[in-house]
Amino acid sequence: MTEKNETTLTQLGAQKTIYPAAPEDAVLETFPNPSMQRDFWITFTCPEFTALCPITNQPDFGTLTIRYVPDQQCIESKSLKLYLFSFRNEGAFAERITNRVLDDIVAACAPKRAEVKGVFTPRGGIGITVDVSYP
């Protein structure tokens, strides 16, 4: 069975990929949940996440894992990739980034439940892991 082409999706299949300069410029696109009759988890893993330290302007690297149980809408993965890519020029601490990603996921698709885990590569001998959840 094939799915209908979702005309509301503008980034998937676009002839040219436009990379947003900042998270506020990115658009998290959604499509209708294809299995409303049951709860299920969707997990995205971004092992090459990059942002900037807001103090030193040095790059911070980490792995972000996003898990959610959709309600009416699901996040389209290419738009998520571009959204996460937009943090490359963003100066923010790991705690702020992880909480912002959760807030933006909740705003985009109003999931039943959601979790974001940021595991940031050690700098100065200390790694940081941030776990946030909704509700």
Catalytic residue ranges: 53, 60
Is 51 within 8 Å of 60 (Cβ atoms)? yes
Tell me the C-alpha distance between 59 and 54, whole Å.
10
Are 33 and 73 spatial neighbours (Cβ–Cβ below 8 Å)? yes
For residue 91, the cross-strand partners are 52
First to last CA, the chain: 34
User: What single letter denotes the amino acid at residue 128?
Assistant: I
Query: SS3 of 14, please?
Result: coil
Report how far residue 100's alpha carbon sits from residue 86's, in angstroms, rounded to the nearest whole number: 13
